[in-house]
């Protein structure tokens, strides 16, 4: 027997969605239960790209520090190979923003959909992708907050992306902290928690489940979100 079709809320303009994702997410997800997320995803990608290029210079020391640490973890690389990798990364960074972000959101949509179904949410993939799309909008604020901090800090202090985070990662030394610990504690920050809360709200409103079920699903997704960082760190050893 198929699940009953959710009834979308009252129609609204995209700008209302972009405001409500910050001030009234429950209303937003009730309204967007129809799973129409394409235009919102396009706006997210465009705004992310604009912020990337606008803050690229001030964030460059952090990018360089992360790259250098990654290269140092592979002693088999020659200086020429490392420099070639640096040029490749610098050249294709904008491409990763324009392509990697939407792909990442669509994959997150799959995760939200599957985990949501496990905890009892009656949603399809389109609803999962809608939740994933709108849940990522706080990352725009994170980009601005990080760039402002990087601008105000001494360049020598910009040794990791975590130094401009608003969470536990700020107090961890990436050189001495274990990969597993860093992967998980680095996600205990304001913006990652914000994203997780939005996922929980989306699951509850679109999936018509309890707060406890939605929180459990969002918690599982938070844990799964640490895996890419963890795998990357372990491969670099």
Q: What is the pLDDT of residues 76-105, one digit of tens each?
A: 766 676 677 777 777 777 888 889 999 999
The C-alpha atoms of residue 181 and residue 158 are separated, in whole angstroms, by 21
* Closest among 207, 212, 214, 209 to 6, alpha carbons compared: 207
Question: Tokens 């904008």 — which residue?
Answer: 94
The pTM of this model reads 0.86
On whether the CB atoms of residues 105 and 132 are closer than 8 A, the answer is yes
Whether 2 maps to a domain, the answer reads no
On whether the CB atoms of residues 121 and 208 are closer than 8 A, the answer is yes
Question: Tokens 């929180």 — which residue?
Answer: 215
Whether 51 maps to a domain, the answer reads yes
Q: How many domains does the chain have?
A: 1
Whether 35 maps to a domain, the answer reads yes
Domain span at residue 21 reads 14-235
pLDDT in tens, 154-200: 988 888 888 899 998 888 877 777 777 777 888 899 999 999 999 99
On whether the CB atoms of residues 108 and 125 are closer than 8 A, the answer is no
pLDDT of residue 109: 97
pLDDT of residue 72: 64
The C-alpha atoms of residue 112 and residue 124 are separated, in whole angstroms, by 10
pLDDT band at residue 31 under the 50/70/90 scheme = very high
Whether 8 maps to a domain, the answer reads no
Whether 167 maps to a domain, the answer reads yes
């Amino acid at each position: 027997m198929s699940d009953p079709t959710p009834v979308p809320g009252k129609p609204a303009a995209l700008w209302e969605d972009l405001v409500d994702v910050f001030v009234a997410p429950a209303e937003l997800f009730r309204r967007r239960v129809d799973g129409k997320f394409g235009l919102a995803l396009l706006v997210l990608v465009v705004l992310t790209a604009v912020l990337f290029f606008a803050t690229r210079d001030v964030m460059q020391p952090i990018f360089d520090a992360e790259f250098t640490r990654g290269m140092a973890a592979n002693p088999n690389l020659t200086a020429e190979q490392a420099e070639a990798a640096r040029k490749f990364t610098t050249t294709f960074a904008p491409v990763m923003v324009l392509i990697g972000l939407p792909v990442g959101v669509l994959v997150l949509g799959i995760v939200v959909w599957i985990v949501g179904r496990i905890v009892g949410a009656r949603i399809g993939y389109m609803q999962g992708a809608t939740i994933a799309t709108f849940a990522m909008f706080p990352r725009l604020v994170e980009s601005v907050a990080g760039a402002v901090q990087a601008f105000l800090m001494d360049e020598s202090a910009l040794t990791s992306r975590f130094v401009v985070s608003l969470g536990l990662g700020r107090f961890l030394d990436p050189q001495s902290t274990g990969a597993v610990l860093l992967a998980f504690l680095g996600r205990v920050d304001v913006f990652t928690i914000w994203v997780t809360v939005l996922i929980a709200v989306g699951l509850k409103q679109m999936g018509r489940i309890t707060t406890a079920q939605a929180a459990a699903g969002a918690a599982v997704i938070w844990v799964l979100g640490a895996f890419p960082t963890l795998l990357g760190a372990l491969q670099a050893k």
